[in-house]
Every structure is written in structure tokens, then in C-alpha cells.
Amino acid sequence: MRLQVSESKNAASFYVVKSVYDKGKRSNKIVEKLGTYAELKARLNGRDPYEWAEEYVKELNRLEKEGREPDVIARYSPYKRIEKDVRRSFNGGYLFLQQIYHELKLHKLCKEISQKYKFKFNLDSILSRLIYGRILFPLSKLATFEESKKFIEQPDFDLHQIYRALEYLAKETDFIQSSL
């Protein structure tokens, strides 16, 4: 990481920048905006912002070499408007269940059943959402479908496909139980 000072006719802005390589090309990623020269001068009680910024970057590099992450402070503006009908928060509570689901190899069972009946919808996705939903919030199939839209991974199926998948799962109950 290094210090980058962007100077304009009105102010000098200080940034902590890291070089990132993507497909052989180097680009710079801003890790943290430290502030303008005037803001830092006021905050540092007269201490030189250039010296302080250099020391701060050295400290970040030292922490990175030791494998420790620096504390991140997220700044939010109470005046910034939030766009309507845009989802900003997601439910990640099912992620620990995902590991158990895969350890039980249910995704492979779904693949075998899908190959047997040759249907177009994603049985694995449907079964996993129904299981996660039943454990986390025991609701109806419709409500579980609606709640699964709040997951980090969005569902790639429709409600009518859930009902169709349940028919096939009912036919294959013995196979599923014997495999587990």
C-alpha cells in the first residue's frame, strides 16, 4: 500500500492506495480516503498531514505483513436518500446450513433425480431453499418462496416449479431415504 495525494486548485486529498493485478494489468484500488489537507490539519492539531499520512501507511503495511487487518470504520450519511424498491439487506442465516446440505450430498441426489426425469427446473435449488426455510422460519411453501428472495443467493425458480418438484420428491422418497 502507498500514499497517493491528489492535488487540485482548491485542495489536496490523501488516499491509501493498493496496486491490484487483474489479468496481467495493474490498477489502483483506493483502500481508504484519509481526507483533505485542511481536514487533516484540523484533526491532527497542527501536525503535518504529509508526515502523519506516511506514518499511517507504514503502519497499515506493517499490519498487513503480520497478517492482521486494520480496524475499518464505515461512515454513513444520515442525509443520503435510499432508493425506493432496492434491496440493501440480505438474509445470510442459511449459509451454515448450506455446508450441512452439501455434506449430506443432497445436491448429488437432486442431480440424479433431475437426470432421471429430465425436467428443466433446478431441483437442487428448490430443495435447498425448502430445507433452509423449514429450519429457519417454518412457513408455508409460498411464504418460504417469498422469504428465499431475501437470501444472498437469489432463487432461480418460480412458485409453480416448487409444487412440481414436490411431486417428484414424493415419488423418490424411498431413494432419498436409502441414500441418506
Per-residue pLDDT, 126: 92
pLDDT of residue 175: 87
Mean pLDDT value across residues 125-147: 89
DSSP states of 139-172: --HHHHHHHHTTBSSPP-S-HHHHHHHHHHHHHT
Q: What confidence tens digit (pLDDT) does each residue in 109-124 have? A: 989 999 998 888 889 9
Query: Where exactly are the structural domains of the chain?
Result: 2-66, 95-179
- Look up residue 43 and give its amino acid: R
For 49-92, write each residue's pLDDT tens digit: 889 889 988 988 888 888 777 666 677 778 888 788 877 777 77
Which stretch of DSSP H or E encloses residue 33?
strand 25-36
> Which DSSP string corresponds to 85-117?
T-----B-TTHHHHHHHHHTTHHHHHHHHHHHH
Mean pLDDT, the chain, as a whole number? 86
Give the C-alpha separation, 93 to 137, whole Å: 11
- In this predicted model, what pLDDT tens digit does every residue of 90-102 receive, in sequence order? 777 788 888 998 9
Q: What is the average per-residue pLDDT within 156-177?
A: 89
In this prediction, residue 73 carries a pLDDT of: 67
